[in-house]
Amino acid sequence: DVKVTQSSRYLVKRTGEKVFLECVQDMDHENMFWYRQDPGLGLRLIYFSYDVKMKEKGDIPEGYSVSREKKERFSLILESASTNQTSMYLCASSLVQVNTEAFFGQGTRLTVV
Amino acid sequence: QQQVKQSPQSLIVQKGGISIINCAYENTAFDYFPWYQQFPGKGPALLIAIRPDVSEKKEGRFTISFNKSAKQFSLHIMDSQPGDSATYFCAAAYNFNKFYFGSGTKLNVKP
């Protein structure tokens, strides 16, 4: 069974803290993604990685950075958490192939207080 | 600016009815259009997908209609069931890489 695992289901952090969200996939996928899900806004792409140490900004990268040191692991970093980063964060991975499918983790609900 | 625009935001349908969700895009480089279904507490999962070289794809009760010239595509759920109640996202991708998602439609099928 394909699996994308996010390290935490729920996180509560304080404003100004550095926050790490971890994602691991066991499918040897080249592509990995971080999305943010907010009501009425859908899934917005934060960052995309197509290979180890390679990354591209998505639509809303401000306030975030990413790290991909190994193929199976993709980390999202909030350098200095702010209350407007309170959201559901979803990690996904996919193969580079025709009719590819993005497989999602269950999400991390982050609350910044 | 959202790359894929989705409507309606919410939809209530009686059991047995047809649910229709619409999406539009601007970037003609998109070459893959999947629909995802999300149940509460879960990540989205692929439901059905279409390439722009076909105008319609059907899988069971789910059909995608695609209009390349209008840059629009839609999801039809025939004989909607209470178990179909979920949030649906349309998406678009190019080079089989980045996926851009719509804003989502929360479907409620009433028994």
The predicted-structure confidence for B36-84, as pLDDT tens digits, reads as follows 999 998 999 999 999 988 999 999 999 999 999 999 999 999 999 999 9
Question: In this structure, is residue B64 part of a structural domain?
Answer: yes
Is the model's pLDDT at A99 over the cut of 80? Answer: no
Q: Under an 8 A CB cutoff, do B9 and A104 touch? A: no
* pLDDT score for B96: 62
Of B6, B49, B96, the CB nearest to A97: B96
| Confidence band of B1 (pLDDT split at 50, 70, 90) | low
Domain residue limits at B71: 4-105
Q: Residue B65 maps to which CATH number? A: 2.60.40.10
Question: In this structure, is residue B111 part of a structural domain?
Answer: no
Question: In this structure, is residue B60 part of a structural domain?
Answer: yes
Task: Tell me which chain B residues have a C-beta less than 8 angstroms from the C-beta of A40.
Answer: 9, 103-104
Question: In this structure, is residue B69 part of a structural domain?
Answer: yes
* pLDDT score for B99: 87
CATH fold, domain A4-112, is: Immunoglobulin-like (2.60.40)
Q: Under an 8 A CB cutoff, do A99 and B49 touch? A: yes
| Confidence band of A100 (pLDDT split at 50, 70, 90) | confident
Question: In this structure, is residue B110 part of a structural domain?
Answer: no
CB A55 within 8 A of CB A49: yes
Q: Under an 8 A CB cutoff, do B103 and A40 touch? A: yes
A24 near B CB under 8 A: no
Domain count, chain B: 1
Question: In this structure, is residue B13 part of a structural domain?
Answer: yes
In percent, the amount of chain B with pLDDT more than 70 equals 98
Neighbour tally for A12: CB within 10 Å: 10
* pLDDT score for A43: 93
Q: Under an 8 A CB cutoff, do B96 and A96 touch? A: yes
Is the model's pLDDT at A95 over the cut of 80? Answer: yes
Residue in B with minimal Cα distance to A91: B43
Write the DSSP assignment of B19-71 as a string of letters: EEEEEEE--TT--BEEEEEE-TTS--EEEEEE-TT-SEEEETTEEEEEETTTT
In percent, the amount of chain A with pLDDT more than 90 equals 83
Amino acid at residue number B47: L
Of B32, B46, B98, the CB nearest to A48: B98
Is the model's pLDDT at A2 over the cut of 90? Answer: no
Question: In this structure, is residue B80 part of a structural domain?
Answer: yes
Q: pLDDT tens digits for A30-65?
A: 999 999 999 889 999 999 999 998 999 999 999 999
